[in-house]
Structure formats: structure tokens, C-alpha cells
Amino acid sequence: MKKIFPNAQAALEGLLFDGMFIAAGGFGLCGIPELLLSAIEKAGTKDLTFASNNAGVDDFGIGILLKTRQVKKMISSYVGENAEFMRQYLSGELELEFNPQGTLAERMRAGGCGIPGFYTKTGVGTVIAEGKDHREFNGETYIMEQGIFADLSIVKGWKADETGNMIFRKTARNFNPPAAMCGKVCVAEVEEIVPVGSLDPDHIHLPGIYVHRLIQGDHEKRIEQRTIREG
């Protein structure tokens, strides 16, 4: 299978449609698939549902799609750094499904493993638990959460070989592996594509079986909040 494409637009060709469900890797601005998000903006695909830890900032990450009103719903755990996200949610323009961070990661992983639902104690007794099935195990109450099955996964890695085996660098690993697993099709962007056999098999974070399309590109690597000492 030919997995390498020349750019983000080519890699997404034939995959995008209005109303689709996309799982996106990244945490804050770390490890976000910025090239693929920009290509989705240019494509004009609308009424999107995103499962992502957060929505970036106003002018970067998923934030660029909020600005163009291409996102209908966010399934997230943190929204504090995006003023436009807050404005749209409070005005009723954007649907929001809050998830505890670990629950969101596990929902993605579960979907990638074909698990439709699981029980967790996280969220019991809070608004997160409203309307969800409650069960008792060993005297403890748990709520059921559903696995995420997305139409498309978009992720960003450090290195990949030509078959899609990927390595993520340090904290950029974050939500990327579970997000990659839960989509019917996974498109990945990396900083470097290397020949098969160049990567130590023991160091692979995401097996190539999960990656369907792959691009190499230059990345901005913007810092979300820079804190320095006075000189």
C-alpha cells in the first residue's frame, strides 16, 4: 500500500465530507497535526465534530476551524486557552461534550481496540455521569463511557518509516497514539520519513498498521505560554 503523499491536501483527498467526525492528536499546541488542520480549513469542510483534548488557541490548531465556523461540536477535556471557543459555547453556537482527560484518552484507545464501552469511577457523582449507565463492581459505583469511533484520525509524529511505523518525541506523544487508533482512516504528518528498517522496533510508539496515509512537512512548533525570568 502506498502511504506517502506529497502534502496535506493530497493526503486528505477523498476523505473529507461535511458532518464528519474527526479525532485529533495533540495537547495544547504540543504534537498537534497543524498541517492537516490547515488543509481542512482550506478545504472548507463544515459541521465537523472533533474529539481532541482541547482546541488549540484562537489562531492555531483547531482554533483556526472555530474561527471559520467549520466546527459544530467539540468532545474535549480542556478549553481554557481559546477565547473564541468560550465565546461560541456560551452563545450556543458550539456544542461541547466535556470528558475527564483520562476518560477521553481511554475512549479513543477503546475505539481503536474495537471496545464499544467500558466502566470507570471517574465522574461518578458529577454532571459527567448524568444520563449514563451506573453499575456496581466490588461495592464501588462506576459509569459507562463509550468508545470513540471516528471517521478520520489526524496525528503528528516525529519520525516514521515508509510503512507508517511512528515515533513521537517526548510529550508530543500525548493523545496521538490513541487518536490514531480510533479512526476508520488515519492520516499522519511527521518531521521526517526514513527507510524501512531505520527505526528500532522496540522504540515504535504506533505500529504502521494504524497509519493509512503519511506526509512529511515543516512545522511551526509554536509555544503556547512562554515563561522566562527577568534578566
Query: What three-state secondary structure class fits 22?
Result: strand
Tally of domains in the chain: 1
pLDDT band at 129 (very low <50, low <70, confident <90, very high): very high
Contacting residues for 159 by C-beta, under 8 A, at least 6 apart: 166, 167, 190, 191, 192, 193, 194, 199
Per-residue confidence (pLDDT) for residue 147, from 0 to 100: 98
Kindly state the average pLDDT of the residues 139-159.
98
**Structural contact between residues 161 and 224, judged by C-beta atoms closer than 8 angstroms:** no
Cβ count within 10 A of residue 115:
13
Residue 101 has pLDDT above 80, yes or no: yes
- CATH number of the domain within which 183 lies: 3.40.1080.10
Would you say residue 105 lies in a domain? yes
Q: Which residues of 70-86 are buried (b: 16+ CB within 10 A; e: fewer)?
A: bbeebbbbbbebbebbe
Would you say residue 224 lies in a domain? no
Query: What three-state secondary structure class fits 21?
Result: strand
Give the integer Cα–Cα distance in Å for 217 and 228: 29
Kindly state the average pLDDT of the residues 96-103.
95
Per-residue confidence (pLDDT) for residue 69, from 0 to 100: 95
Residue 186 has pLDDT above 90, yes or no: yes
Query: Whole-number mean pLDDT of the chain?
Result: 94
Would you say residue 41 lies in a domain? yes
Per-residue confidence (pLDDT) for residue 40, from 0 to 100: 98
Per-residue confidence (pLDDT) for residue 190, from 0 to 100: 98
Give the tens place of pLDDT for each residue, 29-73: 899 999 999 999 999 999 999 999 999 888 899 999 999 999 999
In this structure, which amino acid lies at residue 131? G
Residue 225 has pLDDT above 80, yes or no: no
Would you say residue 227 lies in a domain? no
Would you say residue 222 lies in a domain? no
Domain of residue 202: give its range.
8-216
Residue 220 has pLDDT above 90, yes or no: no
Q: Is the dihedral of CA 136, 142, 146, 147 positive or negative?
A: negative
Would you say residue 132 lies in a domain? yes
